[in-house]
């Protein structure tokens, strides 16, 4: 394996939760906060286009394949130029949210439940993949499949730094352990270049917006991510306040982050 690809894989492997902590967790720490993804999609539908949306729109009109689609934040704001969109996600609940929004937009759509690149889907003019790369330790087949399924362009959005780094002070506080700091978007770019890709890199910043309706929702999700029982929710709330979290605009710690990078590369392929 090439150096940058190997470093990417090794850094992601370092994020494994220590076995003794995971074994004592009362609930799964792998939380999918559906309400955050749904709220994020709705906010994007009502807001001006981001650099990711502009990169997608630049290669349309046409069809779109949204990998790790969630509720549709990366693709549905481009609906006016999409002939048909296919959404792939591992969460049936999020795909239901995607369908509901696509139907409201009268956008032809198809959803596929499964993990990329194991699913069987048709190519599209544009492939978009937002906030999934940090869940892809084996980056070569993941990125190769994105490119293979695109006729014109691939657009990838990810946080500048690994999104779980925002929880590092809390792991130190509650468990006395140090968590990794990488990989970063720059590591992703280096790995993609080893695959022969030359992504255009655009860095941008999301404004602070509430991602939970209530502070206690953030507390509950954070508690579960930290493998803590429900009776420690009060301690988690105090720790979050100590980090400077604004209860009026609670962010999803451990999600996408506010410093964001859009990567895109052109593909030249006929039907």
Residue-wise pLDDT tens digits, 148-189: 999 999 999 999 999 999 999 999 999 999 999 999 999 999
- DSSP for 23-39 reads HH-SS-S----HHHHHH
pLDDT at 208 over 80: no
The segment with the largest mean pLDDT, out of 10-19, 27-36, 247-256, is: 10-19
Q: Which of 87, 188, 86 is nearest to 142 (CA)?
A: 188
Expressed as residue numbers, the domain containing 202 is: 3-163+181-210+257-266
- Say whether the peptide bond before residue 51 is cis (omega within 30 degrees of 0): no
Residue 216 lies in a domain: no
Mean pLDDT, range 78-85, rounded to an integer = 98
85 or 247, which is more confident: 85
Contacts 24+ apart (CB under 8 A), 140-148: 140/1, 140/5, 140/195, 141/117, 142/116, 142/117, 143/191, 143/192, 143/195, 143/197, 144/117, 144/195, 145/116, 145/117, 146/67, 146/116, 146/117, 147/197, 147/265, 147/267, 148/123
Q: Give the distance between the most distant pair of CA atoms in the chain.
A: 58
Strands 259-266 and 150-159: antiparallel
Provide the CATH number for the domain around residue 104.
Answer: 3.40.50.150
Strands 200-205 and 109-113: unpaired
**CA 93 to mean position of chain CA atoms:** 16
The total domain count for the chain is 1
Q: What is the pTM of this model?
A: 0.94
């Amino acid at each position: 394996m090439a150096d940058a690809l190997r470093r990417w894989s090794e850094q992601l492997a370092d994020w494994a939760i220590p076995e003794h902590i995971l074994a004592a967790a009362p609930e799964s720490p792998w939380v999918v906060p559906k309400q955050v993804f749904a709220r994020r999609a709705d906010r994007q539908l009502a807001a001006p286009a981001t650099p990711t949306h502009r990169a997608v729109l630049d290669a349309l009109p046409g069809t779109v394949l949204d990998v790790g689609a969630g509720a549709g934040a990366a693709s549905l704001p481009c609906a006016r130029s999409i002939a048909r969109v296919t959404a792939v996600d591992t969460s049936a609940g999020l795909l239901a949210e995607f369908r509901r929004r696509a139907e409201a937009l009268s956008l032809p759509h198809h959803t596929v439940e499964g993990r990329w690149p194991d699913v069987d889907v048709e190519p599209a003019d544009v492939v978009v993949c937002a906030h999934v790369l940090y869940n892809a330790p084996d980056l070569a087949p993941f990125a190769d499949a994105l490119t293979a399924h695109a006729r014109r362009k691939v657009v990838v959005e990810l946080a500048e730094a690994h999104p779980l780094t925002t929880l590092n002070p809390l792991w130190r506080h509650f468990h006395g352990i140090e968590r990794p700091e990488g990989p970063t978007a720059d590591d992703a770019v280096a790995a993609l270049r080893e695959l022969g890709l030359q992504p255009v890199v655009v860095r941008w910043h999301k404004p602070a917006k509430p991602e939970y309706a209530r502070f206690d929702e953030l507390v509950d999700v954070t508690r579960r991510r930290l493998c803590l029982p429900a009776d420690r929710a009060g301690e988690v709330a105090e720790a979050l306040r100590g980090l400077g979290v604004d209860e009026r605009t609670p962010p999803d710690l451990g999600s996408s982050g506010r410093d964001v990078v859009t990567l895109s590369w052109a593909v030249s392929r006929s039907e």
